[in-house]
Amino acid sequence: MAETVKKKTSTKTGTGTAAKKTTTARKSTKKSAETAVQEEIAKIEAVAPETSADKKKILFVASEATPFIQTGGLAEVIGSLSTALAATGKFDVRVVIPLYSDIKKEYRDKFTYLGNLYVHLAWRNQYCGIFSYEKDGVIFYFLDNEFYFKRPGCYGYFDDGERFAFFSRAVLEIMPFLNFYPEVMHCHDWQAALAAIYLKTNYCFRQEYQFIRSLFTIHNIEYQGQYSLDILSTLFDIYGRYQYLVEYNNCINLMKGAIEVSERFSTVSPTYAEEIKNPYYAHGLDPIVRNNQFKLRGILNGIDDKGYNPQLDSHLFANYSAEDMSGKAICKSELQKMLNLPVKPNTPIISMISRLVAHKGLDLVTNVIEEILQDDVQLVILGTGDYQYESYFKDLARRYPDKVSANIVFNGDLSRKIYSGSDIFLMPSKSEPCGLSQMIACRYATIPVVRETGGLYDSIKPLYNGYTFSNYNAHDMMYVIREAIYDYRDKEVWQKLMYNAATSDFSWKKSAEEYEALYMEMLK
Ligand code: GLC
């Protein structure tokens, strides 16, 4: 218990011995002296630096985090938002993720083993090792169980429900072990939904857990964690009386449960927060979102603008800045050489770096790309995904060897070479909760062409730092791509766009402030 109560006392009485002394003095003196003492406390509080006891404790619960393991944008947000919040000096931020066997060895070797415990879940009692590593002011915990996590990759297994139930339960179990009870437990996506659900069902009756608030952030509403109701108690260990919390359309729906139980829930852009009230975007959850909209917020993600900096990025063929873009031409010609495309400085390169899945708008691309390829352009694709799209782009590259390069891999180094070496970045998503690639492209002065949805709408302003189209329509997309190609030929117009894009502020500063305000609102 101690933790929360102790903390509250320390905030009230200010910091350090001086404050304690004055508190004692206050008790034994009369009214006027009391006022003087209070003034003194106020003075001390005003100048005292935040000590660790003053910091609000935040625990991120997520299934991936950079730099340790990444399958998508979620990992980058966990890695960079936690760091940005810690850097404010106001939060003691810790992050917990599973210890997958794919976690990079360079880090793994440096982890500290803290101990182990057994996690009880329905009829199972499973080992959980706890490792930690501190990076840029954030403590990361890694939960080890080889039966669940010693496998390649992060997801896609038949027992993912059980794996993340174990993980979520373990998150609550390690709190007494670490003597760390967060004020806000910030859970991300369905894999962490059960941590919020267990907190508000099985654990809230234990004194130490009573003051923990939960915030649930939806990075993509498409993946909800849906299971048969048959395994409610045997696998998830949820009592029958709580079935109504997680039940939706005759299934268990973990995302729905987390929305219901959390004090607040959020999405990764303001526009997406509005969109998911609508059946077109909500994958069936819109009634739940609408019922709970009083506690919904949308906060736009930022990017790690130090990590993505064309001036310092060692992956690039040449470095450059918003003020001096000369290096970008080298990045372009070297990229063309590397990808076996003709080296043509005045031919615009359109690039796509994306998971090759339907909601990224690939059906629009496949519909009109051959028409666009009749113009003097080159197309560079990087990503993996559905077989249908992978083979489509491979075939396109085979048929247009002088115009198309299809790289069906996930390659961080190449992605930076493409961001820096291309001119136009295409992202015509059908839905996009936030999207980080359009912001990264901007940072490298590559002009995004996006559909006006979710975070794309919130980050790209037409004719300022990119081009946008509204309807999910292949010819509307083609029209704006052609507009961009046309403007590309006008050096002055294009220089201005590149400058605006490269200097658009996508740092975490503003978003971290919004999260801070949200946490504070939750702690009132
Ligand atoms: C998911 C979303 C993407 C978002 C990312 C980080 O991958 O699809 O739009 O940028 O999460 O929040």
What does the pLDDT look like over 385-398, one tens digit per residue?
999 999 999 999 99
Q: Quick one: what percent of the chain has pLDDT higher than 90?
A: 87
219-222 — which CB contacts under 8 Å span 24+ positions? Answer: 219/73, 219/74, 219/77, 219/188, 219/189, 219/267, 219/268, 219/433, 219/434, 220/189, 220/433, 221/255, 221/267, 221/276, 221/281, 221/282, 221/283, 221/285, 221/433, 222/283, 222/359, 222/431
- Determine the pLDDT at residue 48: 46
* pLDDT tens string 33-92: 566 656 655 554 444 445 577 899 999 999 999 999 999 899 999 999 999 999 999 999
Asked if the model's pLDDT at residue 13 lies above 50, the reply is: no
Is pLDDT at 261 greater than 50 in this prediction?
A: yes
Q: What pTM was estimated for this model as a whole?
A: 0.88
Q: What angle do CA 165, 169, 172 make, to 5 degrees?
A: 150
CA of 223 to the centre of ligand 1 (A): 12
Ligand 1 pocket check for 319: Cβ under 6 Å: no
DSSP letter, residue 348? P
Percent of the chain surpassing pLDDT 70: 90
Per-residue pLDDT, 44: 46
Looking at residue 33, what is its pLDDT? 57
C-beta 73 within 6 A of ligand 1: yes
Which is the closest atom of ligand 1 to the Cα of 219? 11
Q: Is the CB of 420 under 6 A from ligand 1?
A: no
pLDDT tens column, 396-411: 999 999 999 999 998 8
Contact in structure between 447 and 466 (CB atoms under 8 Å): yes
Q: Check if the beta carbon of residue 518 is closer than 8 Å to that of residue 311.
A: no
Q: What pLDDT is recorded for position 246?
A: 98
Q: Is 294 exposed, middle or buried (0-12, 13-18, 19+ CB in 10 A)?
A: exposed
Helix (H, G, I), strand (E, B), or coil: what is residue 363? helix
> Is residue 31 over pLDDT 60?
no
Q: Measured in angstroms, how far is the CA atom of residue 497 from the centroid of ligand 1?
A: 25
Q: What is the pLDDT of residue 410?
A: 86
Residue pLDDT, tens place only, 271-303: 999 999 999 999 999 999 999 999 999 999 999
The answer to which of 47-61, 358-372, 470-484 has the lowest mean pLDDT is: 47-61
Q: How large is the average pLDDT for residues 175-182?
A: 98
Pocket probe mutation, ligand 1, options 66, 74, 267, 437, max atoms within 8 Å of Cβ: 74
Average pLDDT, the chain: 92
Is residue 190 within 8 A of residue 255, CB to CB? The reply is yes
Q: How far apart are CA 401 and CA 341, in angstroms?
A: 7
Residue of 102 and 39 predicted with greater confidence: 102
Mean of pLDDT values over 220-238: 96
pLDDT at position 18, please? 37
Amino acid at residue number 422: S
